Chain A
């Protein structure tokens, strides 16, 4: 199974909004509302930011939101802050009963 496709990098200035895409197939992203997003600052374990496409765990700011259209899921971050600079990964359930991660996107806050 190939990794879900994410852009290698995105950037934005403080206060702006950015969107990170995650493209799969009808056998994973498109077939189930089981997409999650993780934030990983350097040297730390990933942190769950979004699950089930658009749900936020307790404690995650509402600046972070998720959506899905067809085989592509998206993570939107509004009101960008310096602390948001990190690597972001999507993951999805697959029709094979497995979990698949995206290749990761590095977010730079300019």
Chain B
């Protein structure tokens, strides 16, 4: 059974960089070429927003609206992947989820089958 767990600071100051890590257990990030690993966020009371995803090779895919501020990386030796979001504002306050999804023909597909429990990150001074 694959499990994902987000970790990182719950409070970030405006203009600083938000950093989160997702640890994968019960399966290897590099164990299958059929999956990519993504970050999704959900502002309080609002809908889901895909932030971006990373393949085990390190290839990344980003939401165009966040691309200039986002970096997603993978560390297969630690079975972890990470999110960095720079120049944060209050609008970046959200529950951040990491999740696994299918990858086919160099395409990250929208079927996220395993999710972390989510971690609330608040942007405030």
Give residues in A with beta carbon < 8 Å to B.
Answer: 1, 3, 34-36, 38, 45-48, 51-52, 57, 89, 91-93, 96-104
Contact = CB atoms under 8 A, between A and B. Distances in A.
B109 A89 contact: no
Contact of A101 (B48, B53, B61, B113): B48
B111 A45 contact: no
A104 B65 contact: no
Q: How large is the interface on B (under 10, 10 to 19, 20 to 34, 35 or more residues)?
A: 20 to 34
Interface string B17-59: 0000000000000000000001010000011111001000000
Given A36-B111, A45-B97, A46-B48, A98 B63 contact: yes
A73 to B, nearest CB: 11
Given A34-B109, A99-B110, A46 B115 contact: yes
Interface in B69-125: 97, 101-102, 106-113, 115-118
Nearest to B110: A91
A93 B61 CA distance: 12
Contacts of B38: 99
B110 A36 contact: yes
Contacts of B102: 51
A74 B38 CA distance: 24
A98 B61 contact: yes
Given A1-B65, A35-B110, A45-B97, A101 B49 contact: yes
Contacts of B115: 45-47
Nearest to A101: B48
Contacts of A38: 48, 112
Given A1-B64, A1-B65, A101 B111 contact: no
Contacts of A96: 64
